[in-house]
């Protein structure tokens, strides 16, 4: 009832509502919680809003959605892991409707995909009373302490508690870091020992005598079988067979496995390892990547269960030997140890939104340097729990040209799940940037072009929106555009985006105010998604994986990005030949490309055409199941800005509360 223009700066609007809850007001006053119904007066940080909500106990959420007590592993009062036995129990339950949220090419500030995902599920669940689940990625510590901040959503459309969500959660990313670096240590150690010992000395140490008995471990028997040696008695191997068994003969120049940590640290992009005198001069140039770009993260996200994850971990290729053959983690003997480190991480994490709707937070690969989607397992469990008429809303990272394309061509290919609706998030701000507006930078006030009405600039920038709608429709799925409204947007601007989205082929386009109003502000979007889900979804992949590697890359570049052709630099050409020879040429493609443009150049806005897409290198994530070309200057280790977010993050040692997250 209170209009924003009536309120003076600094005033507080409290809406007590009409539904009295005994004792609630006293609790609210004690915690200085403010609730507002007026979008224009919203001035509280995300973490303040998160704390204004007292979440339901997570075991209560689990009961409400149909999980059994023995399927839940509690991590305190607000989060839990869900055992995969739930998926087995529900295997005959029909799946619900499957919705993927993506976006136009964003500004560096982000356009609210996570917020829209949460707002949509709150609208479907708390307001339209549908069974609904959100499935989102766990954020990396790198952006949280760097420039982007957290990824729990924002305003009144958040996963809570947001500090739990944005920090350690249940330790999955730490497990991936430990597992990844165990592989790196095993790799370099094996090279060192092979260079400093003869065959017999290596054999005696790899197959030691314990209490007078020598035997192969299970993983060593697998290596023998791979070599065509069908023997189980260590004493029965010939000298030639011992040589084959103990010598991986790794070519250091072909090593693709890097160490990782979950921090933006630009000075680890290229390093020299092995400098200690104890390593006998066996040094080499290496690098660190950010943890979420580790192949183990991609394996977690694409696995179909614990057994499948273990097999994928064993198939990961770390280098080639001097004969040009792939060397895997199974060859290193480390597969079982990796499975042990990852045995808990494979279970999806259960949380909730501000309005009490359930959320799975599981896996977190970046979309620009990995495939950018949460886990297949979380989606599958959620689809069973919501039932045939329910909805599962999952998010694909960055723009539709990156996260959505990989969602369809990689995630859906391995999961066998078929989406019903695409929700494409757009903002007036980003579209003005694509129309030629000034540079948008984090931490810098927006130029007046973004805060004043400018229909001409906006209309020109809608070329990006049209292209991304076209990209989604290439896969045969209906598109609903969510116009995420900001307080500086005018009615005419919002109406223009809605109009042009429909003209470009969207099933519907809806203005949304979920950031300021929670689920209430996304009810129109939820109804549009419901209607779209009733229409036929003629899903299809963009390419056949049996096509040559270069052809698959070219199809993505031309049909999704708008390029006229691709250019493979010499290193990339060499990798195509190597991977094809090694039998990996039929894997899907995961392009590592800037998220700030449809092209490889972040300065090219709108919907550029006619450009040549340069492919610098191609790497293989064989365990995860894709090849990833590096486009342009794409880096796998982000750097910190001049003033990172950690300047504002602090701990109140009296209350124990985390401050400064956003």
Q: Which residues are identified as catalytic?
A: 113, 115, 137, 148, 367, 398, 486, 515
Could you give the 3-state DSSP secondary structure of residue 80?
strand
The answer to whether 548 and 74 have CB atoms below 8 angstroms apart is no
The answer to whether 136 and 361 have CB atoms below 8 angstroms apart is yes
Q: How far apart are CA 453 and CA 311, in angstroms?
A: 55
How long is the chain?
662
Paired with 285 in beta bridges are 272
The answer to whether 321 and 310 have CB atoms below 8 angstroms apart is no
Residue appearing with tokens 């609208």 = 123
Q: How far apart are CA 443 and CA 423, in angstroms?
A: 28
Could you give the 3-state DSSP secondary structure of residue 132?
strand
Q: How far apart are CA 360 and CA 351, in angstroms?
A: 6
Q: How far apart are CA 309 and CA 614, in angstroms?
A: 33
Give the helix ranges, DSSP H, for 538-614: 549-555, 570-581
Nearest partner of 597 among 407, 364, 433, 429, judged by Cα: 433
The answer to whether 177 and 167 have CB atoms below 8 angstroms apart is no
How far, in Å, are 5, 393, 553 from residue 473 at the CA level?
41, 18, 19
Nearest partner of 662 among 384, 443, 382, 414, judged by Cα: 443
Q: How far apart are CA 205 and CA 202, in angstroms?
A: 5
Nearest partner of 47 among 141, 147, 138, 152, judged by Cα: 152
Could you give the 3-state DSSP secondary structure of residue 327?
strand
Residue appearing with tokens 């614990």 = 306
3-state per-residue secondary structure call for 187-228:
HHHHHHHHHHCCHHHHHHHHCCEECCEECCCHHHHHHHHHCC
Could you give the 3-state DSSP secondary structure of residue 307?
helix
Q: Rounded to 5 degrees, what angle do the CA atoms 35, 114, 473 make?
A: 135
Contacts of 658 (CB under 8 A, 6+ apart): 47, 163, 167, 649, 650, 651, 652
């Amino acid at each position: 009832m209170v209009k924003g223009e009536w309120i003076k700066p600094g005033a507080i609007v409290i809406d007590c509502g009409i539904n009295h809850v005994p004792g609630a007001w006293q609790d609210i006053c004690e915690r200085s919680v403010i609730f507002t119904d007026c979008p224009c007066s919203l001035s509280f940080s995300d973490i303040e809003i998160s704390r204004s909500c007292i979440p339901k106990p997570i075991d209560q959420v689990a009961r409400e959605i149909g999980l059994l007590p023995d399927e839940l592993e509690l991590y305190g009062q607000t989060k839990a892991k869900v055992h995969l036995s739930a998926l087995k129990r529900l295997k005959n339950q029909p799946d619900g409707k499957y919705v993927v949220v993506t976006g136009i090419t964003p500004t560096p500030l982000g356009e609210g995909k996570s917020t829209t995902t949460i707002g949509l599920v709150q609208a479907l669940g708390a307001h339209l009373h549908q069974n609904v689940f959100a499935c989102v990625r766990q954020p990396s510590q790198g952006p949280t302490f760097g420039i982007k901040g957290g990824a729990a959503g924002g305003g009144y459309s958040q996963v809570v508690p947001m500090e739990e969500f944005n920090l350690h959660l249940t330790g999955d990313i730490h497990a991936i870091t430990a597992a990844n670096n165990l592989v790196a240590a095993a790799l370099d150690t094996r090279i060192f020992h092979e260079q400093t010992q003869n065959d017999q000395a290596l054999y005696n140490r790899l197959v030691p005598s314990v209490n007078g008995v020598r035997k192969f471990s299970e993983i060593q028997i697998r290596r023998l079988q791979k070599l065509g040696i069908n023997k189980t008695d260590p004493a029965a191997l010939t000298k030639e067979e011992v040589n084959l068994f103990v010598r991986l003969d790794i070519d250091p120049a072909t090593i693709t496995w890097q160490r990782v940590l979950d921090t933006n640290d630009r000075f680890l992009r290229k390093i020299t390892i092995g400098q200690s005198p104890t390593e006998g001069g066996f040094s080499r140039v290496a690098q660190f990547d950010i943890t979420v770009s580790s192949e183990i993260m991609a394996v977690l996200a694409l696995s179909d269960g614990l057994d499948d994850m273990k097999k994928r971990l064993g198939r990961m290729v770390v280098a080639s030997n001097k004969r040009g053959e792939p060397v895997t983690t199974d060859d290193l003997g480390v597969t079982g140890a990796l499975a042990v480190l990852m045995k808990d991480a494979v279970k999806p994490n259960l949380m909730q939104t501000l309005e009490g709707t359930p959320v799975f937070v599981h896996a977190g690969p970046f979309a620009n340097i990995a495939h950018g989607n949460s886990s297949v397992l979380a989606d599958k469990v959620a689809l069973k729990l919501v039932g045939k008429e329910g909805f599962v809303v999952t998010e694909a990272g960055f723009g539709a040209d990156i996260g959505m394309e990989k969602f369809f061509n990689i995630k859906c290919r391995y999961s066998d799940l078929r989406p019903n609706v695409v929700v494409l998030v757009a903002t007036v701000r980003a579209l003005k940037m694509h129309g030629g507006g000034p540079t948008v930078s984090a931490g810098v006030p927006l130029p007046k072009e973004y805060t004043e009405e400018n229909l001409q600039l906006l209309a020109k920038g809608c070329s990006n929106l049209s292209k991304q709608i076209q990209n989604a429709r290439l896969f045969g799925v209906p598109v609903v555009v969510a116009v995420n409204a900001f307080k500086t947007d005018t009615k005419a601007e919002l109406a223009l985006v809605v109009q042009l989205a429909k003209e470009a082929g969207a099933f519907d386009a809806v203005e949304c105010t979920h950031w300021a109003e929670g689920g209430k502000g996304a009810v129109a979007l939820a109804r549009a998604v419901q209607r779209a889900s009733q229409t036929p979804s003629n899903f299809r992949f963009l390419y056949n994986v049996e096509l040559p590697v270069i052809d698959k890359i070219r199809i993505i570049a031309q049909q999704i990005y708008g390029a006229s052709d691709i250019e493979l630099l010499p290193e990339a050409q060499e990798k195509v030949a190597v991977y094809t020879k090694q039998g990996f040429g039929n894997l899907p493609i995961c392009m590592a490309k800037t998220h700030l443009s449809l092209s490889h150049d972040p300065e090219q806005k709108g919907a550029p055409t006619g450009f040549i897409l340069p492919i610098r290198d191609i790497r293989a994530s064989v365990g995860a199941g894709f090849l990833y070309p590096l486009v342009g200057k794409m880096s796998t280790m982000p750097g910190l800005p001049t003033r990172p977010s950690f300047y504002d993050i602090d701990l109140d040692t009296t209350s124990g509360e985390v401050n400064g997250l956003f």
